[in-house]
Structure formats: structure tokens, C-alpha cells
């Protein structure tokens, strides 16, 4: 079953790239004691994700910060790909990238899907959520192939 409003973000340890190299990062540290907008994409460098989803949050990052929200992005990609995508997309320093290389976080949220038909294996659905101290307060999951409810504009309109 997929995560719902009122549920706690599952505790999952991921790896990301820092100046010190590959480091573990827990979802508890990302979400605990903070207000966070998390958006998820099926894959870094894929068309909608790179042309519309990530750029919208990069462009409007200051507006989220002004409202007291940190930003995080997750995708079922390895840490090196997520670091390169953040750098290429201008997200470095604005958005915490959460590489979910094995899809453990997407599965724990119940928001994974089988993209094997596209030779992409298991991926995350496209969604956005608002969490406060690790509890989901708002959640918008896109219909397959859609990009409507999880954009930066759509999320900001709900805050």
C-alpha cells in the first residue's frame, strides 16, 4: 500500500556523493525536525524530469525556502548520476538529491513501478509530498505519464 497523508516517512539509508566522497544519508536525517517538500521522478536525465520537473523546483527554490521548506528530490538512480544531474540542472546547493539506487525508498513508500517495458527496471512514480518532522502532510501522485500535480507551481499553490 502506498504511503498516505498522516503516515511517517519510512526510515531508509541511501548513499549520496559529497565533497568527501560517497556518504550514507538517512531519510530520518533529511526529514526529522524539518519541513520538506520532496519530489520524485522516474529517472534523472529523462525528458520530462530534466526539461520540466527539476527545473521548476530549481527556479522556484527561493520561494519554497521563504515559506520555510527545504527541497529534496529522489529518483531510482545511482549517486553519481544524481550528482551529475544536480550539477547539470543547477540544483546543487538548492535541492538535496536522494539517490535511491536500489529502489528501496520508492518500495518502502509503496510508490515504485515496473518500468521493465522501457528497459528501466523498477522506478519511482512521479509525485510530490510535503512532510513535517517526518510525517506526510500533503501528497500528490501523478497518473502514469502525467505531469500536473507534482510540479513546483502546483505544490507552491497548495502551500
Residues marked active site are found at: 49
Is 67 exposed, middle or buried, given 0-12, 13-18 or 19+ CB atoms closer than 10 A?
Answer: exposed
Please answer whether residues 53 and 151 qualify as being in contact, where contact means their C-beta atoms are separated by less than 8 angstroms.
yes
What is the enclosing helix (H) or strand (E) of 43?
Answer: none
- Which among 44, 53, 89, 97 has a CA at the least distance from the CA of 71? 97
Pairwise CA distance, residues 150 & 87, whole Å: 22
Task: For residue 95, count other CB atoms closer than 10 A to its CB.
Answer: 22
Amino acid at each position: 500500500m502506498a504511503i498516505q497523508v498522516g503516515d511517517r516517512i519510512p526510515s531508509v539509508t541511501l548513499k549520496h556523493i559529497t565533497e568527501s566522497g560517497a556518504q550514507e544519508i538517512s531519510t530520518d536525517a533529511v526529514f526529522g525536525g524539518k519541513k520538506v517538500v520532496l519530489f520524485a521522478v522516474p529517472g534523472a536525465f529523462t525528458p520530462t524530469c530534466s526539461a520540466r520537473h527539476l527545473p521548476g523546483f530549481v527556479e522556484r527554490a527561493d520561494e519554497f525556502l521563504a515559506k520555510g521548506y527545504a527541497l529534496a528530490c529522489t529518483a531510482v538512480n545511482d549517486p553519481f548520476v544524481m550528482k551529475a544531474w544536480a550539477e547539470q540542472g543547477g540544483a546543487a546547493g538548492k535541492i538535496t538529491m536522494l539517490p535511491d539506487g536500489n529502489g528501496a525508498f520508492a518500495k518502502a513508500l509503496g510508490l515504485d513501478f515496473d518500468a521493465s517495458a522501457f528497459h528501466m527496471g523498477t522506478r519511482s512514480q512521479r509525485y510530490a509530498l510535503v512532510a513535517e518532522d517526518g510525517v506526510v502532510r500533503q501528497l500528490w501522485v501523478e497518473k502514469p505519464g502525467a505531469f500536473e500535480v507534482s510540479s513546483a507551481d502546483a505544490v507552491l499553490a497548495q502551500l
